[in-house]
Amino acid sequence: MTLASFYHTLKFEKRCSPHTVNAYQTDIEQFVEYLSSQYALSSPDEATQAIVRSWLAKLVDEGLTSRSINRKLSALKAYYNHQLRLGEMKTNPASRVNTLKIPKRLPVSVSKAEIHSALYSQDEHETDFSIRRDHLILELLYGTGIRLSELTGLKISDVDFGSQTIKVTGKRNKQRIVPLGNKLLEVIQAYLEERNKLAETGTEEIILTDKGKKAYSVFIYRKVTRYLGEAGVKGRKSPHVLRHTFATHMLNAGADLNAIKELLGHASLAATQVYTHVSVEKLKSIYKQAHPRA
């Protein structure tokens, strides 16, 4: 009952995304399993700081990334803080456990030529539903910079053809308005004509599977990976790479950093400033290649 109360708080009070709630639930269930198998304990409330540390050490030995381990620790800390507020516990055994250092990694983006190849790998006048849908997935991710979770939740009512904008619901249900270009609006309109013939009654989401059901994250992820691979992208291939590419191309074209922050839905400018480092690295590369004394 205690865990159910915690998940309810995450979902309805803190308004965490379904992805975050599911991730935290998985993390805590793994910890509970560890407690049962290693210490014969039945509840995370019985754990000590030493036990929490031993679990993290086990995860390190198993080869999990620092980012993944830190998320699991974050889940535990959030759960124990919930218990403290309810008066179920007097101390948080995870509060003094430090997170692992994460090496800084610059966002990965793809070139304009690769984007063009991915977007126009199919005939834009093709009327086949699946081809139009796949094209729209790429256009929306690159043309607006929205997250994968935001794309799966995008509804027809979120598109305003009059103002040429879409309403995007991001993390913690925060909403923002993102402009749409004329080309993207045309792609949406053409797709909707085919989508509405296939959609199940009551389905409001824009992106659907071939069976007319709401598209899920893995479905879209596989589509993006496939088309970027066919376009010749050698490195990482994912919807988030297209989000990085959107921001990087905007910045390189002279867009204001604050404007990019608002378009991406970042809570602070610090999260957006990483793209300036990408641009600096690009300038360094060009300088080293072009300057005779570089």
**Candidates 72, 135, 147, 249; catalytic one:** 147
Q: By three-state DSSP, how is residue 166 classified? A: strand
Distance CA 75, CA 152 (A): 24
Does the active-site annotation cover 171?
yes
Please say whether the beta carbons of 237 and 117 come within 8 A.
Answer: no
Cα–Cα distance measured from residue 1 to residue 22, given in angstroms and rounded to the nearest whole number: 17
The answer to whether 226 is a known catalytic residue is no
3-state secondary structure of 52: helix
- Nearest-angstrom CA–CA distance, 26 and 19: 11
Measured from the Cβ of residue 167, the count of other Cβ atoms closer than 10 Å reads 14
Q: Both ends of the chain: CA-CA distance in Å?
A: 64
Whether 15 sits among the annotated catalytic residues: the reply is no
Structure tokens at 249: 């191309």
Q: Which residues of 45-83 are buried (b: 16+ CB within 10 A; e: fewer)?
A: eebeeebbbebbeebeeeebeeeebbbbbbbbbbbbebb
Contacts for 58 with CB less than 8 Å, ≥ 6 apart: 34
Active-site residue, from 72, 223, 243, 249: 243
Query: Angle at which helices 18-39 and 49-61 pack, to 10 degrees?
Result: 100
Q: What tokens does 95 get?
A: 């509060």
Which pair of structure tokens corresponds to residue 50?
């030493």
Contact partners, residue 179, CB within 8 Å, separation at least 6: 164, 165
Catalytic residues: 147, 171, 240, 243, 266, 275
